[in-house]
Amino acid sequence: MTELSSIDTSRGCTDTPVLRERGQREVFCGLTGIVWLHRKMPDSFFLVVGSRTCAHLLQSAAGVMIFAEPRFGTAILEEKDLAGLADANAELDREVDRLLARRPDIRRLFLVGSCPSEVIKLDLARAAERIGQRHAPRVEVLNFSGSGIETTFTEGEDACLAAMVPGLPATKARELLVVGALPDVVEDQMLALLARLGIGPVRLLPARRADSAPTVGPQTVAALVQPFLGTTAAALAERGARVLTAPFPFGEEGTTAWLAAIAGEWGVDAAAFAAATDAPRARARKAVAAAATTLGGKRIFFLPDSQLELPLARFLTRECGMTAVEIGTPYLHAGLMAAELALLAPGPAIVEGQDVEAQLDRVRAAQPDLTVCGLGLANPLEAEGLATKWAIELVFTPVHFYDQAGDLAALFARPLRRRARLSFGPAGGQP
């Protein structure tokens, strides 16, 4: 029904062995997700139960909100809490009561676990239940963990969305549930595309407001827009929803394949699909082609960080002419990634997990044109003469769907152009 059928999957990476590495990791923790989630859900509040380090991470990553009431904060565990000398539960109850009395606009409160709260085994699930009973029905109280112990930064969103699923109202209606936090402007573009295809009703998780939470049930078809939502997908399946397996909507091809998977479910015919997508597809191809002049023929190495690595490698190799040397990802969910792996050409090593020293040795040996990595690794690699792209930028920047395809390619082209300018020098002319 679409060009999806003409996408060559016969040489995909589905049989490529995955190297699993366990060692020292260099990633942000799941608290980082609060930085984009608090913008998405303005009537929610994220209360991190953590240390001063957690508070500093959030403040430096998100900045201080001067003009608005803050939508996140940290209940700091002091030494006497950590030593078990104070009743952390009683203090938490008091802080929450004070917060909710002062902020009648808060409709949903997330108690967010951290490394310190996990270490002292503070039971935030029970705390959320206890506090929630006191403040129902005005405020829904949920909990999830953003701890950095054995997690990576995008798992914060997964844990947050999964925490909402058990409480979603039930439905028997056939509905599309789009799962994953998108910037509002991108979400509106997506809704417009789905509307042009005649697909609906469409629900969103997360919804922008607590009182417009989506419904879920056995007729729900769930489509993920982010590849790091495995726990949320499992929670939705437990509620009876069917989670679609499709490439993720990055680039022209990924967006088309994602839409085609949904269109197939709703019985949209080829002519209607083409009428709705031909123009934005052409625009996306043109925008990507502009950046691909810089990217074509270049070699890229992904260190494991955001869990976006496989879809991005698929986009950069298939649409921008790059060659992937190694694709590292913190976790590889075989089911959710099946469609992506089928599209990836054989060649790159696929690595799950992190052993940072071994991976850096391979980066140095490979001397790729571009390395996608966490902030902590970027500066040392740049100092060694390697161009880098910060993985975290990819979750803070609108990169999904047709209208962002050119921007997504440009994000990768920019460090290459910058490095080329630096090596030419001011008198050498612009490349």
Question: Residues interacting with ligand SF4, by CB under 6 A?
Answer: 29, 31, 50-51, 53-54, 57, 114-115, 146-148
| Single-letter residue type at 377 | L
Q: Which is nearer to ligand SF4, 59 or 397 (CB)?
A: 59
Query: First-to-last CA distance in the chain?
Result: 42
> Least separation, in Å, of the C-beta of 116 and ligand SF4?
6
Give me the half-sphere count of Cα atoms (radius 13 Å) on the Cβ side of residue 120: 22
Least distance to ligand SF4, CB of residue 388, Å: 22
Nearer to ligand SF4, 51 or 232 (CB): 51
Give min distance, CB of 343 to ligand SF4, in A. Answer: 34
Residue 27 CB, shortest distance to ligand SF4, in Å, is 9
Q: Considering beta carbons, is residue 156 or 415 the nearer one to ligand SF4?
A: 156
Q: How far is the CB of 270 from ligand SF4 (least distance, A)?
A: 48
Nearer to ligand SF4, 7 or 112 (CB): 112
Residue written as tokens 């740049």? 382
Closest approach, Cβ 167 to ligand SF4, in A, equals 24
Complex with ligand SF4: residue 146 or 311, whichever CB lies closer:
146
Whole-number minimum distance, CB 265 to ligand SF4, in Å?
39
In the complex with ligand SF4, which residue's Cβ is closer, 50 or 180? 50
Residue nearest ligand SF4 by beta-carbon distance? 148
Q: Cβ 80 to ligand SF4, closest distance in Å?
A: 18
Instruction: Report strand pairing: 220-224 vs 175-179.
Output: parallel
Q: Minimum distance from CB of 266 to ligand SF4 (Å)?
A: 41
125 vs 274, which CB is nearer to ligand SF4?
125
Backbone φ and ψ of 199, nearest 5°: -95, 130
13 vs 31, which CB is nearer to ligand SF4? 31
Kindly list the distances between the CA atom of residue 181 and the CA atoms of 205, 207, 397, 420, in Å, as whole numbers in the listed order. 7, 9, 12, 35
Residue number, 32 or 220, with CB nearest to ligand SF4: 32
**Residue 245: how many other CB atoms lie within 10 Å:** 16
Helix/strand/coil (H, E, C) string of the chain? CCHHHHCCCCCCCCCCCEEEEECCCCCCCHHHHHHHHHHHCCCEEEEEEECHHHHHHHHHHHCCCCCCCCCEEEEECCHHHHCCCCCHHHHHHHHHHHHHHHCCCCCEEEEEECHHHHHCCCCHHHHHHHHHHHHCCCCEEEEEECCCCCCCCCHHHHHHHHHHHHHCCECCCCEEEEECCCCHHHHHHHHHHHHHCCCCCEEEECCCCHHHCCCECCCEEEEECCCCCHHHHHHHHHCCCEECCCCCCEHHHHHHHHHHHHHHHCCCCHHHHHHHHHHHHHHHHHHHHHHHHHHCCCEEEECCCCCCHHHHHHHHHHCCCCEEEEEEECCCCHHHHHHHHHHCCCCCEEEEEECHHHHHHHHHHHCCCEEEECHHHHHHHHHCCCCEEECCHHHHCCCECHHHHHHHHHHHHHHHHHHHHHHHCCCCCCC
Instruction: In angstroms, give the least distance from the CB of 283 to ligand SF4.
Output: 40
> How far apart are CB 258 and ligand SF4 at their closest, in Å?
32
Please say which residue, 76 or 99, places its beta carbon nearer to ligand SF4. 76
In which order are the strands placed within the sheet that holds 72-76?
72-76, 44-50, 108-113, 140-145
Query: Which is closer to ligand SF4, CB of 54 or CB of 387?
Result: 54
